[in-house]
Amino acid sequence: MTNPLLIPSKLPYRVPNWGQIKPSHILPAAREAMKRQKEAWEQIASNPEPATVENTLVAVDEAGDEFSRVLMPAYTLFSSIGGDELDAIQAELGPEMSAHGNLFWLDRRMYDRYNSIDLEGADEETSYVVSETLKKFRQNGIDLPAEKQEKLKELDAALSSLEISFSQRATRAMSDNALVVSSREELDGMTDEQVASLKQCDGTYRLPLLNFTNQPQLVDLVSPKTRKALLDASISRGLGGVETSDTRQIVHDIATLRAQRAELLGAPHHAQVVAQRGMAQDSQAIIDLLSTVGARATAAVDRELEELKSVAGDNEITAADWTHYQEQIRGQVAVDDAALAPYLALTNVVEKGIFFAATELYGITFNLRPDIPTYVDPMKSWEVLDEDGTPIGLFQADFFARPGKSGGAWMNSLVHQSRRAGTLPVIQNNCNFDEPAPGTELLLTWDQVETVFHEFGHALHGLLSDTYYTSTSGTAVPRDFVEMPSQLNEMWAYHPRVLANYATHVETSEALPAELASRLSASKTFGQGFATTEFVASALLDQAWHRLTTDDVPPASQIEEFEETALKRLGVFHSLVPPRYRTAYFKHTFGGGYDAGYYSYMWAEVLVADVEQWFMTEGAKDGDGGLNREAGTILRRELLSRGSSRDPMESFKAVRGREPRAEALLERRGL
């Protein structure tokens, strides 16, 4: 009981005692928490009394309290700090966690208890939780004979290890494949400050990679040779150039085991297993949506290419040149990042952007809490108060990149909201922005501004949660619904009142010029042929890998050939638009979490596009575009607060009044 992970925190909002937690505490604490939860499950499953909501559903929810208190800080450190020691601990813990989960989902006694709970008079949340839990039991193999259940456990343990290995290698590959150039001239187009940050002790310049394919520096670099070298470095990650970050065999093994798992469960392929867990229900419906949008997008790419030729002149346009020339056109028809940057200081985007919009919509306010400990110094914490001053949670932001930190941006729930447990949510947003020099402000690109608004949409989903059970709170919703609140929140980045509040000059505090503000609306649909094709190509790659049978999985040496063949067959291959993520560094799908589920961003966007239209029509007051408390209250009450306490389609219809229109997505993207 001296292990700080096993001792309930007495800090505000039950924030962990980060200063006391060492990597060596994680495995003992996790194993003890799993042991105690297993004992609690055994007591519930063997209880001779008839199953009730209290002695089964509530008891199982309570049994997860300590487990969550231990594991959430551990996984925060794995993703946000990383490094060899934590990587090794995560690799050891993963298979044990998989086996532990299967103890519950393959326990017939527990299934029978849930199945016999008398729900007469039960509230909506309780009835929905029981129904969904029974469905999850069946999806996880409860009806399989014993020998097949044992095989399922073996597959799940092996997959857990492989997914962790892939994720760690893909993170390492961002560093392993960094481009190194020898002269300042090769970086012409980048500012002196940018170049200075890349200079190494030996006088060379090192350009580290972000997790996606097209790197931001491609926009600025003048030299076609350097642009090509940078893109080549990016797309060759994981393909054997560096042995310690080669992911090809892991990809083959993961695809094979997932196909075997699907066959064991009686499904045609893994993509169908995943589709049945979400709103989509059917893998072919996913393919149909992606293919329809992809066809519109690739046609738009060809039109956009003609525009690029007008600024490229006689220069050949390659995939490495696209964003470079695109940015020049953006400055003519929309707004380029160079013009916007002085008006997009990170502090303003957060405190006068995302916070301002949330206050206008939901009545919540944010108070800085520098007294609350964090695991790294640059992090900030804000106490979130409801309209009447009642605390509803804590928001923390870890915006800056560091060695070992996972790439990309994400939200995680450090403490889950639960009326049963009496806990308020502690929600974190993570990004990988370059940390500015001390005393200076980080100036964001517009894409980064959208990222801040996007991740805060996830944060709001957690902060505004109001469910009884811990297991239903916040973002514990189907994977193809979870991106709905986050993408919806992006709309407020463009709203005139919100934009005017945060987009002020970093030195003069002058407002963003009206001419630039008005042209931002053109940025919404500018370049959507390229952006949509880039996304759809990755989403269809994800589906292609997971619609394979065991015998169809290609050998590790043929990953690149499989990619090209699959994209051509699905109608989204374009030589100038590589997928946003290629197979060998596609952490969403091979690192776990979004396997056969990357489509969910676009599936959710169908809902988003429709609700955006609601804000601007029925939800609007006096032409305010929906930025008012009444509209915010409806969204909060009917959708953001609900977690997984009812069918998400019911939450959507409670806001919109009908089923979603798929056409709204194409309209939103200007396609």
Catalytic residues: 455
Residue 208, sorted as left (phi over 0), alpha (psi -120 to 50) or beta, turns out to be beta
The dihedral built from the CA positions of residue 463, 466, 471 and 477, taken in this order, carries a sign that is negative
Q: Token pair 């638009």 is at which residue?
A: 577
Measured distance CA(364)–CA(360) in Å, rounded: 8
Measured distance CA(231)–CA(618) in Å, rounded: 45
Token pair, residue 531, equals 């952006």
Instruction: Find the largest Cα–Cα distance for the chain.
Output: 82
Token pair, residue 112, equals 């029978």
Measured distance CA(271)–CA(571) in Å, rounded: 19
Three-state helix/strand/coil letters over 348-375: HHHHHHHHHHHHHHHCCEEEECCCCCCC
Measured distance CA(397)–CA(379) in Å, rounded: 6
User: Would you call 136 exposed, middle or buried from its count of C-beta atoms within 10 A (0-12, 13-18, 19+)?
Assistant: middle
Reduced to 3 states (helix: H, G, I; strand: E, B; else coil), residue 25 is: helix
Reduced to 3 states (helix: H, G, I; strand: E, B; else coil), residue 91 is: helix
Buried residues in 545-565 as b, exposed as e (16+ CB within 10 A) = bbbbeeeebbebeebbebbee
Measured distance CA(258)–CA(216) in Å, rounded: 34
Residue 36 vs residues 33, 103, 243: alpha-carbon distances, Å? 5, 13, 41
Reduced to 3 states (helix: H, G, I; strand: E, B; else coil), residue 427 is: strand
User: Would you call 118 exposed, middle or buried from its count of C-beta atoms within 10 A (0-12, 13-18, 19+)?
Assistant: exposed
For residues 74 and 10, is the Cβ–Cβ distance under 8 A? no
Measured distance CA(86)–CA(89) in Å, rounded: 5
Measured distance CA(669)–CA(671) in Å, rounded: 5
User: Which DSSP state fits 54?
Assistant: I
Reduced to 3 states (helix: H, G, I; strand: E, B; else coil), residue 206 is: strand
Measured distance CA(255)–CA(671) in Å, rounded: 33
Token pair, residue 649, equals 């389609």
Measured distance CA(36)–CA(55) in Å, rounded: 17
User: Would you call 616 exposed, middle or buried from its count of C-beta atoms within 10 A (0-12, 13-18, 19+)?
Assistant: middle
For residues 419 and 470, is the Cβ–Cβ distance under 8 A? no
Q: For residue 233, which amino acid is it?
A: A
Token pair, residue 288, equals 């149909």
**Closest by Cα among 291, 156, 337, 283 to 545:** 283
- Enclosing H/E stretch for 242: none
Token pair, residue 2, equals 């001296």
User: Which DSSP state fits 245?
Assistant: G
Measured distance CA(655)–CA(644) in Å, rounded: 16
